[in-house]
Amino acid sequence: MTSTHAPPAGTDANRGRLTVCATPIGNLDDITARVLEALRDADVVACEDTRHTRRLLDRFAIRVATVSLHEHNEASRAPELLDRVRAGERVAVVSDAGMPVVSDPGGRLVAAARDAGLPVEVLPGPSAPVTAIAAAGIAAEQWRFVGFLPRRAEQLVTLLRDPAVTVAFESPKRLVAALRAIADEDPARLVAVCRELTKLHEQVVRGPAAEVAERFAADGVRGEITLVIAGAEAAVVEQTDVARAVDAARRLVEDGARARTASRVVAELTGHGANEIYRGLHADD
């Protein structure tokens, strides 16, 4: 593809690169020295919201051109930005808060740059999911970030039956409903609502899902929310896995298999005991 941008005066054609910059999730002083250097050195900053980013740039007296890069224009904007990298320019990418690509725009652009063999640099920094994990006080040897919680009840139930800690974003308007849905599955499930992280009115509310739901139902919810949900206890996971094994064996029986044969086959596939599955098949007899 022929470039539509000539390198700025004094630009070395070999210096072009795409730099993905993590920006503060609340407190602007959390920005890193490397990100500040990259923004000052950039020929253009691609922003989720140019007005939002301009406040950050002004705070540190950075004078640089900005262009929008959001979910609605990323596909069409990416070729233009990659042309600028080919022409020797340095393109910085930021989202409104935290790391671009992680539940924010930038993924298509980075993928296209990688596919084109163009230099991509990622500068780490503030992260709401990681900050929430540290603030929640919920042990997390294994954890996963799921973006926003699923809206379908069966998907949420599946998520809650996993032993890994779950970190998710949630809308203030939906927080109480989400907590009540968690409580419907497990009222005692430990959760932490991390609100306005790193900002003046930061708040972390930790406790059983049912109690936290009622607290926010009474007090109201405002601000940006990151939710941390404890993983399922091992006994709950085991009980769920056995129930699924019994259900699989039941379907085989419905298709004509003998109960003993179905139990043995499913046991070999899942590692559960054949007798345990057989007893499960006849639990309601």
- Give the SS3 label for residue 48: coil
Output phi, psi for 65, to 5 deg.
-70, 150
**Mean pLDDT, range 139-144, rounded to an integer:** 88
The pTM of this model reads: 0.75
Q: Are 183 and 213 in contact (CB under 8 A)?
A: yes
pLDDT at res. 234: 55
How many angstroms separate the CA atoms of 282 and 239, rounded?
A: 16
Tell me what the mean pLDDT of segment 84-93 comes to: 97
Q: What is the mean pLDDT of residues 2-7?
A: 41
What pLDDT, on a 0 to 100 scale, did the predictor assign at position 239? 55
Residue with tokens 């301009």: 54
Among 82-86, 181-185, 203-207, 263-267, the least confident range: 263-267
pLDDT tens digits along 193-227: 999 999 999 999 999 999 999 999 998 899 999 99
Report the candidate in 143, 171, 139, 166 with the shortest Cα–Cα distance to residue 155: 166
pLDDT, average across residues 147-152: 91
Residue with the bigger pLDDT between 218 and 15: it is 218
Query: Which helix (H) or strand (E) element contains residue 100?
Result: none
Answer whether residue 238 shows pLDDT above 60: no
pLDDT over 90 (residue 244): no
Confidence bin at 141 (pLDDT 50/70/90): confident
Lowest mean pLDDT segment, chosen from 23-32, 169-178, 234-243, 276-285: 234-243
Token code pair at residue 90:
């340095």
Q: What is the pLDDT of residue 285?
A: 55
Q: How confident is the model at residue 251 (pLDDT cuts 50, 70, 90)?
A: confident
pLDDT tens profile 94-114: 999 999 998 899 999 999 999
Q: Give the pLDDT of residue 10.
A: 45
Assign 154 a pLDDT band (cuts: 50, 70, 90).
Answer: confident
CATH of the domain spanning 13-126: 3.40.1010.10
Q: In the CATH hierarchy, which fold is given to the domain comprising 129-230?
A: 3.30.950
The per-residue pLDDT for 24 is 97
Termini Cα distance of the chain: 71
What Å distances lie between residue 236 and 78, 82, 163, 189, 280, CA to CA?
Answer: 46, 49, 9, 11, 16
Integer-rounded Cα radius of gyration of the chain: 25
pLDDT of 187 over the 80 cut:
yes
Give residue limits of the domains in the chain: 13-126, 129-230, 235-281
223 torsion bin: left (phi>0), alpha (psi -120 to 50), beta (else):
left
Per-residue model confidence (pLDDT) at position 236: 52
**Nearest one of 260, 231, 271, 265 to 248, comparing CA atoms:** 265
Confidence at residue 67, expressed as pLDDT on a 0 to 100 scale: 97
- pLDDT, residue 136, reads 96
Q: Which amino acid is at 197?
A: L
Question: What pLDDT is attached to residue 241?
Answer: 65
**What integer pLDDT is reported at residue 256 of this predicted model?**
85
